[in-house]
Amino acid sequence: MAVKTTSKTRRLRDLVRRHGSPLAVVSKALLRRQVERFRCALPRVEPFFAVKANSHPEIVKTLAQAGCNFDVASVGEMELVRRLGVKAQRMIFANTIKPAESIASAAKAGLTLMTFDSEYELDKIAAAAPGARVIVRIKVPNVGSMVELSLKFGCDPTDALPLLIKAHKLGLRPTGLSFHVGSQCTRNENYSDALEIAAIILRDAQLKQLPLEILDIGGGFPIRHFDDEPDPFESCAALVSREIDRLFDSNLRIIAEPGRFLVGPAVTLAMRVIGKAIRDNKHWYYLDDGVYGSLSGLIFDHAKYQYKVMRNGRTQLSTLAGPTCDGLDVIARGEEMPELEVGDIVYVENCGAYSTASATWFNGLPPAKVVVLP
Ligand SMILES: Cc1ncc(COP(=O)(O)O)c(C=O)c1O
């Protein structure tokens, strides 16, 4: 897609001239704006940023300063966040399957709030972190979400209460209930269905004298990738907020683990054309980043991106490919774009989540350099 020269494209061109490419440009202002949007739309929900989405230290620091807490999936993430000055008490260890040594290290550091979804995990937690506060994760519908999580994680909702009772018997503190509707959730009803199920379990727990303090509504909040689509977040959050008010007492603490929503829109990836060819009557452009780098989300995250260029003119169907020697490293096959030249910039907005986080050094090609703007 061709775009007009604007202050945004001029600035991107300057940054690439100064820092080279591929370049991931992080905007702290956009990070803060996402936190503000989250708070505004979900006033009862405390955001715990899912560090896995993007663990760049400046991103973590900015979100910490904006008052976010953190969802960590490993001791590595916990240590990274602690090194940046955040106390373990501001984190949740939200991986339901953890090595026993990690549970012990987390507890030693003061991170005692953790999720689980099986009896085996409870036994490990009871042995490695006696008295820990545990949150049971249930399986909920993930229909229409880009990344399906309910096959791999979450107990059957009918098992939640027996597991919490077992946690109590093991000397742990049954503290809450969690779910994840699937990442980039495009069906708002996944949240309303999950909240209904959660309300029933919380009521049953109360009846069994196990009052729960925390409901963790996970991540999944969607972002926009294409300019011609409506932004899906506010309508999704409005439904969640309404259902929370309808279903839960005002003294229930409600937390969430947004990853994509907080960091996705805050990063633009700029790449350059390093080579071109005509194959089967079609232009192929080879870029300096691809599937093994910052666009790894094409594979791991099932992501779809909008590729923008800084040239106008008659467009033609073109293929974009990454720089490695692997045939899999093809970014997009049917892009309408004007003819590009070697050195041209191709850029992708809303590219901050599950992108640089899973980039590799395959073929000896370094991951994109990151610049952070205020
Ligand atoms: C346990 C957990 N919490 C939070 C997230 C973040 O989800 P999202 O980026 O969709 O907000 C994930 C993503 O995989 C997850 O597995």
Walk me through the domains of the chain, giving residue ranges and CATH numbers: 7-25+265-373 (2.40.37.10), 28-264 (3.20.20.10)
Index of the ligand 1 atom closest to the CA of residue 94: 1
Rounded distance from Cα 274 to ligand 1 centre (Å): 34
Nearest CA to ligand 1 atom 7: 219
In tens digits, the chain (374 residues) has pLDDT values of: 445 678 889 999 999 999 999 999 999 999 999 999 999 999 999 999 999 999 999 999 999 999 999 999 999 999 999 999 999 999 999 999 999 999 999 999 999 999 999 999 999 999 999 999 999 999 998 887 888 888 899 999 999 999 999 999 999 999 999 999 999 999 999 999 999 999 999 999 999 999 999 999 999 999 999 999 999 999 999 999 999 999 999 999 999 999 999 999 999 999 999 999 999 999 999 999 999 999 999 999 999 999 999 999 999 999 999 999 999 999 999 999 999 999 999 999 999 999 999 999 999 999 999 999 99
* Ligand 1, atom 5, residue with closest C-alpha: 219
Query: In this predicted structure, what is the pLDDT of residue 4?
Result: 63
Per-residue pLDDT, 5: 74
Residues 6+ apart with CB under 8 A from 75: 102, 105, 106
| Residue of 180, 184, 354, 355 best suited for mutating to test ligand 1, as the one with most atoms within 8 Å of CB | 180
Instruction: Quote the pLDDT of residue 3.
Output: 55
Dist CA 25 CA 332 (whole Å): 21
In three-state secondary structure terms, 167 is helix
Packing angle of the helix pair 28-41, 57-65 (nearest 10 deg): 40
Structure token pair of residue 295 = 């666009």
**pLDDT, position 2:** 47
Pocket test for ligand 1, best of 46, 52, 117, 177 (most atoms within 8 A of CB): 52
CA 77 to ligand 1 center in whole angstroms:
14
- First-to-last alpha carbon distance for the chain, in angstroms, is 28
325 is catalytic: yes
| Cα distance between residue 82 and residue 259, in whole Å | 18
Measuring CA to CA, which residue among 168, 162, 120, 169 is closest to residue 138?
162
One-letter amino acid identity for 185? C
CA-to-CA dists, residue 248 to 42, 117, 205, 210, angstroms: 14, 23, 13, 16
Contact of 285 with 346, CB cutoff 8 Å: yes
| pTM, 2 dp | 0.96
